[in-house]
Chains A and B, each alone.
Chain A
Amino acid sequence: MIEARNVKKYFGGKAAVAGISFSVRKGEVLGFLGPNGAGKSTTMRMITGFLPLSEGTVTIDGCDIEEKPVEAKRLFGYLPENAPAYQEMTVSGFLKFSASIRGLSGEAGENAIARAVKLCHLEKVLNQTIDTLSKGYHHRVCFAQAILHDPPVLILDEPTDGLDPNQKHEMRELIREMGRTKAIIVSTHILEEVEAICTRVIIIDRGELVFNGTPRELRARAPQGERLLVTLLGVDGDGARAALEALPQVRRVEILGREGESLSLALHPSGRQENFALTIKKALDERSWQFSELHTESGRLDEVFRSLTTSDSTGRKEGAA
């Protein structure tokens, strides 16, 4: 549905986006990640035809955004960063305008507005002017505008920004639900969000693509890998470490901290193991050591993200491969 080929953008000779290619199919939710200033919003603005491309092509369902902009723009809904909207208009006025400009008039327009209002819970503020709304409502008004015409493609720049935790949860549910039948691009800073809603992730850094894969593949790149967190009660630190490190399944034991009676450890397995937690539990039981916590921590996304987007050039090359 969305096809970006070798998209480049120069601002005054400086490359803000240095040749990015990716595609999103129907039924996919693509997470678009990157540090601030990496070129996420610029890329989104080019995909949506707001900024002209310096090089490359973007097509939405076969429609070239530069050659047939109006046709292509009919096919998607876009939530820009900071959710802009005409401040002096009422919510219903704004939605009517959006419907009308997308060619939805009369009953079709009213139905579309009613549906979007219901999905975004805007019933209470319909007659308020937009400048009187809270940030959360602001965001939802702009989101309502994006889904109004039930487009096959959705492009959302930080859709959960400024929402409270309940609204965030609801927005994610909504995106996941819509992701079954649409092609969606979501840009975000929030890594948990990627796991919650995305079927695929791309990461860009300084205008270059450094990762393109599933959230699972992303996690597998964690430099730490899987580890087991254990909190033991009433056990001497060094003794416990020595005893656990003596096990063949354990590669390394890290003491994370001590608080009164409880001692927190991180156990790194030697190689991949199916039942690492079970092995450790047995070992603890054999020694009759009490524990208050035992859980497996899989590779941390923020660490992967950090390793992919810091200046380390080897990580960058690997990621792009």
Chain B
Amino acid sequence: MNTVLTMIRRELGSTFTSPVAYVFLVMFLVLSGFFTFMIGGFFLRNEADLNSFFFWFPWLFLLLVPAVGMRQWAEERRQGTLELLFTMPVSVPQAVLGKFLAGWIFLGIALILTCPIVGTVCYLGDPDPGPIVTGYTGSFLLAGAYLAISGMTSAFTRNQIVSFITSTVLCLLLVLVGFPPVTGLLLKWGAPAGLLNFSAGLSVFYHFNGMQRGVFDLRDIVYFLSLMVLALVITGVALKNRRG
């Protein structure tokens, strides 16, 4: 446990000494504001909720979260510090968990920094706190799932760009298999409904949507957590076998 904490501290320390972290935070806040107010029509909807805010997260995270995860292992490999790390008394699961948690905490901080938007809705109206709580929980879980996937692609390469693109594509697939316009089109083309329901069940979009609307379903949480565990396990296996 101490080892994991040490890993987390080092990762967060390194994150916040690099300008990339601040660029990320500014980008995230600007873009989430832009989508909410300009594209999501926050004011036009005339409703005191954060739907137009949370709605964009599966898409916004698609670009931003892989930017956080892509360097996790690729950078270690490039700098040669992977050799240093794995000859220290650190087990692979500890290292994987430490890095993942550090990234997740960073994304959590980014989400917390969006709190002015909650203030805005509260000032303008009287929102139901339920959907806000589940919306934030869902966003945090979604960010974690994307992060675990981009950490996984990062473990396979020393090139951050490759890692970024691969993880964006993987995450995009996870969105699209449950995205109504896509599933609708497939249904029209004659795909069996059972298969589409199944694929939708695999989609982050489907599970996030529920939470965004204020539905607190244990299955959604289990879905996100198992996605993370799966990606982290694959990361561990990749690191164990291909460390050169």
Chain B min CB distance to A61 (Å): 14
On whether the beta carbons of A73 and B17 are closer than 8 Å, the reply is no
Given contacts A51-B243, A88-B14, A103-B2, contact A73 B81 (CB under 8 A): no
Complex Cα spacing A50 to B3, Å: 18
The interface stretch among A77-85, A214-222, A249-257, A304-312 is A77-85
Chain B min CB distance to A56 (Å): 18
On whether the beta carbons of A51 and B244 are closer than 8 Å, the reply is yes
State the total of A-B contacts with C-beta under 8 angstroms: 73
On whether the beta carbons of A101 and B84 are closer than 8 Å, the reply is no
On whether the beta carbons of A52 and B241 are closer than 8 Å, the reply is yes
Given contacts A50-B243, A101-B3, contact A73 B84 (CB under 8 A): no
Main secondary structure of the interface of B (DSSP, over half): helix
On whether the beta carbons of B244 and A86 are closer than 8 Å, the reply is no
- Closest B residue to A105 by beta carbon equals B2
Given contacts A88-B17, A93-B13, A97-B6, contact A73 B88 (CB under 8 A): yes
Whether B217 sits at the interface, judged by CB under 8 Å, is no
On whether the beta carbons of A86 and B89 are closer than 8 Å, the reply is no
Complex Cα spacing A101 to B7, Å: 8
Give the A interface residue count (CB, 8 A): 32
Size class of the contact patch on chain B? 20 to 34
Within 8 A of A (CB), among B76-130: 79-81, 83-84, 86-91
Residues of A within 8 A of B240 (CB): 52
Given contacts A98-B88, A101-B6, A102-B88, contact A50 B13 (CB under 8 A): no
Within 8 A of B (CB), among A12-53: 45, 48-52
On whether the beta carbons of A87 and B89 are closer than 8 Å, the reply is no
Within 8 A of B (CB), among A87-139: 87-89, 93, 97-98, 100-103, 105, 129
Within 8 A of B (CB), among A126-173: 129, 142, 145
- Closest A residue to B79 by beta carbon equals A84
Whether A70 sits at the interface, judged by CB under 8 Å, is yes
Residues of B within 8 A of A142 (CB): 84
On whether the beta carbons of A49 and B86 are closer than 8 Å, the reply is yes
Within 8 A of A (CB), among B209-244: 240-241, 243-244
Whether B18 sits at the interface, judged by CB under 8 Å, is yes
Chain B min CB distance to A43 (Å): 14
Further 17 A-B residue pairs, CB within 8 A, beyond A50-B243, A52-B240, A78-B84? A48-B87, A49-B86, A50-B83, A50-B87, A76-B87, A80-B80, A84-B84, A86-B14, A86-B81, A87-B79, A88-B18, A93-B13, A98-B88, A100-B2, A101-B6, A101-B88, A101-B89
List chain B positions with a Cβ less than 8 A from chain A.
2-3, 6-7, 9-10, 13-14, 17-18, 79-81, 83-84, 86-91, 240-241, 243-244
